[in-house]
Amino acid sequence: MGLAVLTALGIWVAQGAIGLLPAQAIANPPAEIRGVWLTNVDSQVLFSEQGVRDSLQQLATNRFNTVYPAVWSWGYTLYPSQVAERATGYKQGLYPDLENQGRNEALEAAQGDRDLLLNLVQTAKDLGLTVIPWFEFGFMAPANSPLALRHPDWLTQKQGALPAARLEQEGRHPRVWLNPFHPEVQQFMLDLVAELMANYEVDGLQLDDHFSLPVAYGYDLYTINLYRQEHRGQAPPANPYDAEWTRWRADKITALVDRVFWTVKARRPSAVLSVSPNPATFAYTHHLQDWPRWREKGYIEELVVQIYRDNLASFRNALRDRALQQARRHIPTGIGILSGLKDRPVPMALIQQQVQTARGMGFAGVSFFFYDTLWTVAAGETSSDRTQAMQRLFVTPRQRPNVAHSPRPAPASS
């Protein structure tokens, strides 16, 4: 696609990014994404109004400007949802039971229909923080979730015999994948998006690496029949990495992203569609997620690519990726940085180096996975060291990059 067309899809311009003298740069500091993901897994910051207030205040004090709270995780919404209730029998599942892959029924009963997202949005707005809810699980669900058990026809599979062909082990948890090619699955996702946009004053929606499908999947009866209909009766190739079979499935997911984009815009025109995928080659080859094409078609208005690396050399090399470099010239493109996992904090020195590298290579900002680990000390650090380093990470306030909302891509024909 030519540069003129890409420009029409919406070039972003960070204030002061080019052509400024030093004095002007001081008066007009460059815009920057300063984000963090909030999750209900290995974290309790979303479990009480006080926890939400304290965490958002801490982020605002440290000059962050964006939060990405999970709103779809473990097969449940994290806010009261009529769409989810129709599909699963439950309005929400804010408090997960990680061992049994379900809801913590005792906490859910004690808290009632507490609306986490309403509380979070109101608090964030008061603090000047942008809120872009995040579909953390995408098409993935726990194998024994009500969603999976009530809708087995919504699930896709690998080659082989059931039930094993449906399962994918993630750590100690067996997962299943909703079929992104099935019309009822698509409508469920679109209804969730429409409900979210209609009911909450959010600033956007973020899809991540789970709004995809592992390449081994797609051998369920529905998808096989759909493929046969479009290939004169021919069955899908046995090789899941077959180029045409990969392209066919990836294009179907791209067509769904078109519908997601327009569902967002129909309810909340100023909301941005943000995407947080893995690097492009891995995302396409292994998860059928062709986000460079999504970007070319104008669906992505903010990109935050997950570059989770444990050393600076591999981090810097990943930032040189051609698709990533192309994206940063046309839309606000930030870098997802791993600040730690449960019991595995990342040294603050490495976090600082990665932030500085992303800035130095011209990216539009960063987001950290995940909130709690920003403050969890690594070996050789003290709590005071970590806190002071966080305060130095973003020295002065910054606005987020502006996104041009028009003209927009034409809706795909149905």
Q: Of 152, 133, 161, 151, which Cα lies nearest the Cα of 72?
A: 133
From residue 18, alpha-carbon distances to 54, 245, 276, 326 in Å are 37, 43, 26, 17
Contact call for residues 274 and 132 (beta carbons, < 8 A): yes
When divided into structural domains, the chain yields a total of 1
Q: Is residue 7 part of a domain?
A: no
Would you say 370 and 39 are in contact if contact means Cβ atoms under 8 Å apart? yes
Stronger pLDDT, 274 or 6, i.e. the higher one: 274
The pLDDT value given to residue 1: 42
The pairing of strands 340-341 and 272-276 is: unpaired
Residue 292 lies inside a defined structural domain of this protein? yes
Tell me if 209 is assigned to some domain.
yes
Asked if the structure places residue 240 within a domain, the reply is: yes
- pLDDT attached to residue 148: 97
Distance between CA atoms of residues 403 and 332, nearest Å: 7
Q: What CATH number has the domain bearing residue 211?
A: 3.20.20.80
Residue 12 is predicted with a pLDDT of 38
Domain assignment of residue 140, yes or no? yes
pLDDT tens for 210-245 read 999 999 999 999 999 999 999 999 999 999 999 999
CA 239 to chain centre: 29
Instruction: Output the pLDDT for position 249.
Output: 98
Cβ 87 vs Cβ 64: under 8 Å: no
Q: Which domain holds residue 328?
A: 33-394
Q: Which of these, 190, 200, 199, lies nearest to 132 by C-alpha position?
A: 200
What mean pLDDT is predicted for residues 362-372? 97
Q: Within a domain: residue 24?
A: no
State the average pLDDT over residues 22-38: 75
Q: Judge whether residue 413 has pLDDT over 60.
A: no
Predicted confidence (pLDDT) at residue 279 exceeds the cutoff of 80: yes
Q: Which residue has the tokens 């900002």?
A: 365
Q: Is residue 414 part of a domain?
A: no
Is the pLDDT confidence value at 125 over 60? yes
User: Among residues of the chain, what percentage have pLDDT more than 90?
Assistant: 83
| Rounded Cα distance, 257 and 279, in Å | 18
Query: Is 11 a domain residue?
Result: no
